[in-house]
Structure 1
Amino acid sequence: MRKLGNKQGDSSSISRRGFLIAMTATGVSFGFPRSWAAMDPASPNGEVLPSAADVYEPSLWYSIDSAGKIKVNIIRAEMGQHVGTSIARILADELEADWQDIEIIHVDSNEKWGYMVTGGSWSVSQSWPVYRQAGAAGKTALIEAAAKQWGVAASKCKAQKGKVVYGTKTLSYGDLVAKGLSRQFSEEELKALPLKPNKDLSLVGQQVTSLDITNKTNGKAIFGIDAKIEGMVYGCPILPPTRNGSKVSTLDDSAAKSIKGYQQTLILEDPSDTVPGWVMVIASSFYAAQKAAKKVKVSWQAGAAAYVSESDFMAEGRKLIQDASQGAILDTGNSDTAAAFEQASSTLTQEYTTHTVLHAQMEPVNALAFQNSDKVWEIHSGCQWQSLTLPSLASALGVKENDIIMRSYLLGGGFGRRLNGDYTVPAALASKALGGKPVKMVLLRTEDFQFDSPRSSSVQLLKMAFDQDNKVSAMEHHATAGWPTKVMVPAFMPKGINGESFDPFSISGADHWYSVGAQKVRAISNELANKSFRPGWLRSVGPGWTNWALESFMDEAAHHIGADPLTFRLDKLIAEGRNAGVEPISIGGAARQAAVLQRAADLIGWGQPQAADTGLGLASTFGQERNMPTWVAVAVQVHVNKSTGIVKVQKLHVVVDAGIVVDPNGAEAQCQGAALWGLSMALYEGTEFVNGKVKDANFDTYTPLRLSQTPEVKIEFIPNTAAPAGLGEPATTPVAPAIANAIYQAVGIRLRKIPMTPEDVKTALSRV
């Protein structure tokens, strides 16, 4: 039996016999691009596929076959957000394709796809120009081919719903491909192609059926945890007492030998230092591996973090903030605040903190690894950042990156956890120790929590100076936390104006769009946190703490001078200078943030009298980064039970301006999920480190938002023709400060830590 492809030119090097991990279903395929199918007459779902001669690829991003089917290649991970549907419709709209002819392929990690990452709410925004140009190229080539066949000028023809039309004559895209097409476009030609005016887009912004919804609802969807291959064994890890620096001292597996199916226990040797001190129990079944692991006795020499807890991170953060020599100063145009504070009529200074937060995604991390018959290492797993994971795998296995291929699977929850593909390394190391034999590793929930790359705790200090007319003359924002980018991809760190590098994802949000005079933003790495565990990117990343502090502080500043919190903010959202925004995404700048804030206030009934112990709160944000802002405002109504300390969020209204909304249903779902995630972290969700480990091991003590705690949620989008921005994360961050601000209005207490627990409320009330 011949192999399908080869490791250099094609990413599908696996025998037909071993093809038990196929993930092809109606409308969507995972891991195995259809290009391999031209080499074999039978596809994984039994259809007869066209030969290579009957397929036209106007660009890397899609192909059209002689049946008129259009297969769109997607490099972004699918984790419930229907990203393939969004990206495919961008292309289909420009191509003038019939939506019924569209299929999507979530591709593997072949280097031809370029840099692969799904995070930062970047997917649709970054895909917008690329897939529109690609669609325009195909449309141009098809029109030219039809015009040539009819002997007419291409300008006399048009494309619509998968056909080229000239008067009463039509030619389908499939017919044109069958006759042979080879037109290709250079980068310069692609950029020069005219695109449809935004007002003429017919699929973008309209209701369509998501291409992956059928299989997600009928049980056919395949996740990483479902991956299988003939002859695989199961690995159950035994985790060391600390994430970093642990070493195995002794190991006794004598009791495990009584378990049927138990094979052996491996001490993993990891050159990449991703999983130091890991032990992997190998068995013929998942259950045998789990049973045997309970009988294996291991002792470790623990790393230094065994003596470090959450309070130590907080103490270190406060110490770092007080040291003016620490950290990087961001370029805000004018960061010299000293004179304004010296001359201030009054000042305000407050500290805000956040606790460690776990990802707690529903599908525990997992991976299947083996070396195929072409000596290529195959890694089967759901992953958000293949281009970051591949170097770690290469280092661990001692091979080149192009000797590894990562197969794409559905993610049962990402939220940033699978940006860090560290969980693929132990499976690969176990397979290597077994001579390349397939090893399937699935972490239990308790292991998944312990091995998480959590969002670091943070400490922030904010200051504001006011002149004699109570106008803001200067503002400072100092933030310290563990930095995931420094730990995992330091090349992504720019330098501040003082020459120090900083993690942009741990300070974004602090460089806000309010006009506050001189503005200093200082980002400080908490090295104690970085060394004690592996900080990770969690949905919204830095703004999860920076916006908590900023929007709480803006409320406090308004009350400090006796101003209305809404008016205070609106007066400072002035679209001038660096806050005016630029084409194509941030155009309009602060004025767009002001618009969503005003609309949210109107929806909640800002200024209207409330019942006893009930209050309204506002907060807004620009999302993640200044060059890709998504303007979001949140308004909440809360009731505080003074006896129990329980805060009940009764209404949660979210107003969003993300430019052109490509997928209305997906956009609403994304914002609903993000806002409820923000609510969960505000009131219910959080953990802490105790002697090097997170104290919560499962959902019995780690308690995210439950359905019964969910308020009335309303999402509203403000129409805008600016290029699309991201929607997966921005609605997360304004929720917590809006709740804190509403609590203050309801019962007069100010909470400056999240999560805000009933105990925190009762303690604050006892001091009033």
Structure 2
Amino acid sequence: MGPDGHRRQLVDLAKLAGLPSGGRAGRTALIEAAAAKWGVDPAGLTARDGAVTDGTQSISYGDLVAEGLDRSFTEDELAALPLKPHADLRLVGQDVHPLDLDTKTTGQAIYGLDAKVDGMVYGVPMLPPTRYGSKVNSVDDSAAKEVKGYLETVVLDDPSGTVPGWVVVLGKTLHAARMATYEISVDWTAGETADVSEDDIQARSRELIDSDAGSILHTEQPETRAAFDAAAETLEAEYTTQSVLHFQMEPVNATVFQNADGVWETHAGNQWQSLILPTLAAALEVPADKIVMRSYMLGGGFGRRLNGDYIVPAALASKAVGKPVKLVFSREEDAQFDSIRSPSVQKLRMAFDEGKAITGMEHHAAAGWPTQVMAPGFMPKGVNEEPYDPFAIDGADHWYSVGAHRVRAISNDLANATFRPGWLRSVGPGWTNFAVESFMDEAAHKVGADPLQFRLDHLKAEGLNAGSAPNAVGGASRQAAVLQRVAEMSGYGQTELPEGTAIGIATTFGQSRTMPTWTAAAVKLAVDAETGDVAVEKMWLAFDCGTVVDPDGARAQCEGAALWGLSMALHEGTRIEDGNVVDLNLGSYTPLRMVDVPQIEVAFVESTEVPVGLGEPGTTVIAPAIANAIFNATGARVRHLPITGDAVLAALES
């Protein structure tokens, strides 16, 4: 076998190491080859630092491959391969130097905005009045022709339907293209959602909740009618959230051209290339294998760049003019074209028997569904055979033992038609857990129980809540453990606090039941009695994410996620008016400022279990902890996000 063949084998081993069980398989194949060469028992060999050794002799991986390495594994063999003992792990659990840190801090990292191609022109979009259904009637660019560097204005023809009614203004420079947009007049016919407001969307959610629409999730006992018919008491509450924007640091952009080989190249930061590739192929009317997507650093994604729709208008503009086009969105255009987190309405109910024990619970949630709009093939089916978007309901199927448990996910068709719903950091659990953990707090107070003990009493590792391998071993008992841990960290219920100051708690499982990250938070805050404004003073968080691979990176992820959760709880929220979001820049859309960042204390449960995710769980738990702390401080129950001072005052008066 020649050098190229050896290289291919090494590449195949590297690929294998990137698969589940792949590292174990590669190590096993190398050890077996060395053992056969030396005529020894493989059990006495180790593979480390690029070589296999028995303590007295060694051979490099490359030499083993050069001598011929032909080993394959069945799925059963892969599943049976032993993991390296936890005590033998040398890198896991150690702080490491991130590979991308140096280029990011020195300014050498290349982002989409840095892309350059010979002969390219710059494009700026002029957005239509509605996301869908708009049509260009006429364009008057006569005044723009006086702008130095202005080239032309292109009305896009989009067979994919991604950017209907779009106009792209082209210039020799970005400045020229931007200045020209101020001199161009476009007459549009708006789509059918031109008069839709956020109130309309929320009213549609309530209408759908009151109907039989939606998908019933798989829970242990999804039929709740008997429990509520026999209930001695019931509790019911509605929770709502506003539309939320991404506002990632780098506005979306893309550079597209057809190269000398007739292949279309796209240059952009993108989180999910295979999602937008078929759409690009439809828009350009070429086979997908005639498109190459070159990905750059994101400049902030947080779910926005999962949807690569911003690449489509750049591609269409390039096709129209026969030149490379670099399309750059302003902050305002980025906000208007955002794949926002949909507003939501949730209705929760709970049934109690005469002894105040929970006998049943229902959770009905309606919102726009990003997966339905952009990747419907990823939607599973519920017990009633209706598909549902897990990214718009995860978290509602909680780990509490509540008897009969019905979870219904409902797609808001008006939301889906008005904007393109998107995935935003923590997705559904960012708002479903606000409802679940606020409602559990309300339930505790209704039956006169301590909110901490009430939760612990219902986090029972039994039935479906017992958990399962590989990701959810221990189930509800691990969620109870992080809740107990954060209560101890914060002194919840044990500390005398000034009037108007309190600590609230909440616990979630981070993302989905199939890969839970057990999470709990306590938040200490003070409420201004005159304005209702909330000042968060400290946040405590505890996580059980299994084995912590990179402690410093894990802590950074958790702190960032918690601050994002704080931002969405108190500050972030726009509204839909006339079919579009009303907040287009940071003058009116005001995320958390540095001056409002509280102290944060993070703890990880030591564990040898399978590592799971940490980028999003910390986001999910902050809003309910804040709402519960506000209730503890004032007696006011706030059921809407974001929580404003006016909302707190209104709750106090109700």
Match of 1:516 among 387, 399, 402: 402
Distance in 2, Cα, partners of 1:228 & 1:62: 32
Please tell me whether residue 221 in structure 1 is matched to residue 109 in structure 2: yes
Determine the structure 2 residue equivalent to 1:280.
168
Q: 2:636 aligns with which of 720, 739, 749?
A: 749
RMSD over equivalenced CA pairs, Å:
2.0
Q: Is the 8 A contact 1:58 1:134 kept in 2?
A: no
Q: Which moved more, 1:249-258 or 1:696-705?
A: 249-258
Give the match for residue 465 of structure 2.
Answer: 579
Q: Please say if residues 462 and 553 of structure 1, whose CA atoms lie closer than 8 Å, have aligned partners that are also in contact.
A: yes
Aligned pairs for 1:492-641 (under 5 A) are 492-608=378-494, 609-641=496-528
SS of corresponding position for 1:295: coil
CA distance in 1, matches of 2:126, 2:593: 31
How far did 1:665 drift?
1.6
Report the equivalent of 1:399: 286
Aligned equivalent of 1:711, options 592, 598, 618: 598
Cα deviations by residue, 1:340-390 (Å, 9 ceiling, x for unpaired): 212211111111100000011001111111112222211111111112111
Map residues 229-628 of structure 1 onto 2, 5 A cutoff: 229-323=117-211, 325-435=212-322, 437-608=323-494, 609-628=496-515
Q: 200, 203, 208: which is aligned to 2:96?
A: 208
Query: Separation in 2 of the partners of 1:365 and 1:154?
Result: 53
Deviates more, 1:551-560 or 1:399-408: 399-408
The aligned amino acid for 2:478 is: R
301 and 176 in structure 1: CA distance in 2 versus 1, 3 angstrom threshold = same
Q: Deviations over 1:501-558 (max 9, x none)?
A: 2212111111111000111111111111111111111111111121111100000000
For 1:240 and 1:676, locate their aligned partners in 2 and report how far apart those are by CA, in whole Å. 34
SS of structure 1 residue aligned to 2:154: strand
Match of 1:686 among 573, 577, 592: 573
> TM-score of the superposition, structure 1-length normalised?
0.82
- Paired with 2:475 and 2:640, the residues of 1 have a C-alpha distance of 30
Q: CA deviation at 1:241?
A: 0.9
CA distance in 2, matches of 1:764, 1:236: 45
Aligned-partner SS, 1:282? strand
C-alpha separation between the residues in 1 aligned to 2:648 and 2:275? 42
> How far off is 1:59 after superposition?
5.1
Query: 1:695 and 2:582 equivalent?
Result: yes
In structure 1, the residue corresponding to 2:181 is in which secondary structure? Answer: helix
Question: CA separation in 2, counterparts of 1:710 and 1:356?
Answer: 23
Gaps of 5+ in 2: none
Measured in 2, the distance between the counterparts of 1:438 and 1:185 equals 46
Matched-pair contact (CA < 8 Å) for 2:574–2:581: yes
Aligned to 1:764: 651
Structure 1 residue runs of 5 or longer lacking an equivalent are: 1-49, 64-71, 73-90, 92-126
Letter in structure 2 aligned against 1:524: I
Tell me how far 1:701 sits from its aligned partner: 0.7
CA–CA distance in structure 2, aligned partners of residues 574 and 740 of structure 1: 25
2:200 is matched by which residue type in structure 1? D
Partner SS for 2:569: helix
Q: Is the 8 A contact 1:198 1:721 kept in 2?
A: yes
- Among residues 135, 140, 148, which one is paired with 2:23 in the alignment? 135
Percent same amino acid among aligned pairs?
59
After superposition, give the CA deviation of every residue in 1:391-435 in whole Å (9 maximum; x if it has no partner).
111111111222212112111111110111101111111111123
Aligned mates of 1:409, 1:447 — CA distance in 2: 21
1:446–1:698: 8 Å Cα contact kept in structure 2?
Answer: yes
CA-to-partner distance for each residue in 1:598-623, whole Å, 9 max, x for gaps? Answer: 11111110112211110110111112
- Match of 2:7? 55
Give the partner amino acid of 2:265: E
Supply the AA of the counterpart residue of 1:391: P
The alpha carbon displacement at 1:495 in A equals 2.0
Counterpart residue type for residue 370 of structure 2: P
For the structure 1 residues 505 and 255, does the alpha-carbon distance in structure 2 shift closer, same or farther, using more than 3 Å as the test? same
Distance 1:337 1:389, change over 3 A: same
Judge conservation of contact 1:143–1:158 (CA < 8 Å) in 2.
yes
State which of 519, 536, 551 in structure 2 corresponds to 1:649. Answer: 536
Deviations 1:234-279 (Å, cap 9, x if unpaired)? 1111111111111101101111222222211110111111111110
Q: Is the 8 A contact 2:13 2:26 kept in 1?
A: no
In structure 1, give the amino acid aligned to 2:293: M
User: C-alpha displacement at 1:58, in angstroms?
Assistant: 4.0
Query: Does the C-alpha gap of structure 1 residues 53 and 250 become closer, same or farther in structure 2, counting only changes over 3 Å?
Result: same
Secondary structure of residue in 1 paired with 2:194? helix
Check conservation: 1:313, 1:528, Cα contact below 8 A.
yes
Q: Distance in 2 between matches of 1:510 and 1:138?
A: 40
- Once the two structures are TM-superposed, the CA of residue 52 in structure 1 deviates from its matched residue by 3.8
Q: What is the distance in 2 between the residues matched to 1:180 and 1:302? A: 69
Corresponding residue number in structure 2 for 1:20: none
Letter of the 1:157 partner, please give it.
L
Within 2, Cα distance between the matches of 1:205 and 1:462?
41
Residues 56 and 182, structure 1, Cα contact 8 Å, conserved in 2: no
Please say if residues 391 and 401 of structure 1, whose CA atoms lie closer than 8 Å, have aligned partners that are also in contact.
Answer: yes
Q: Judge conservation of contact 1:59–1:134 (CA < 8 Å) in 2.
A: no
How far residue 55 of structure 1 moved from its aligned partner, in angstroms, is 2.8
Pair 1:336–1:143, CA change in 2 (3 A): closer
What secondary structure does 2:182 align onto? helix
User: How far did 1:149 drift?
Assistant: 6.2
Structure 1 residues 482-491 or 146-155, which shifts more? 146-155
Q: Deviations for 1:702-753, whole angstroms, at most 9, x for unmatched residues?
A: 0000111011111111122221211111111110010000000011111000
Q: Deviations over 1:34-55 (max 9, x none)?
A: xxxxxxxxxxxxxxxx974663
Counterpart code for 2:24 = A
Distance 1:498 1:160, change over 3 A: closer
Q: Which moved more, 1:489-498 or 1:162-171?
A: 162-171
| Cα separation, 2, equivalents of 1:485 and 1:511 | 18
Shift of 1:172: 4.1
Note if contact 1:337-1:476 (Cα within 8 Å) is conserved in structure 2: yes
> C-alpha separation between the residues in 2 aligned to 1:681 and 1:289?
35
Alpha-carbon distance in structure 1 between the residues aligned to 2:202 and 2:516: 30
Determine whether 1:661 maps to 2:613: no
**In the aligned structure 1, how far is the partner of 2:143 from the partner of 2:44?**
81
| Residues 642/377 of structure 1: CA separation in 2 closer, same or farther (3 Å cut) | same
The residue type paired with residue 139 of structure 1 is R
* Structure 2 CA distance for aligned equivalents of residues 601 and 194 of structure 1: 37
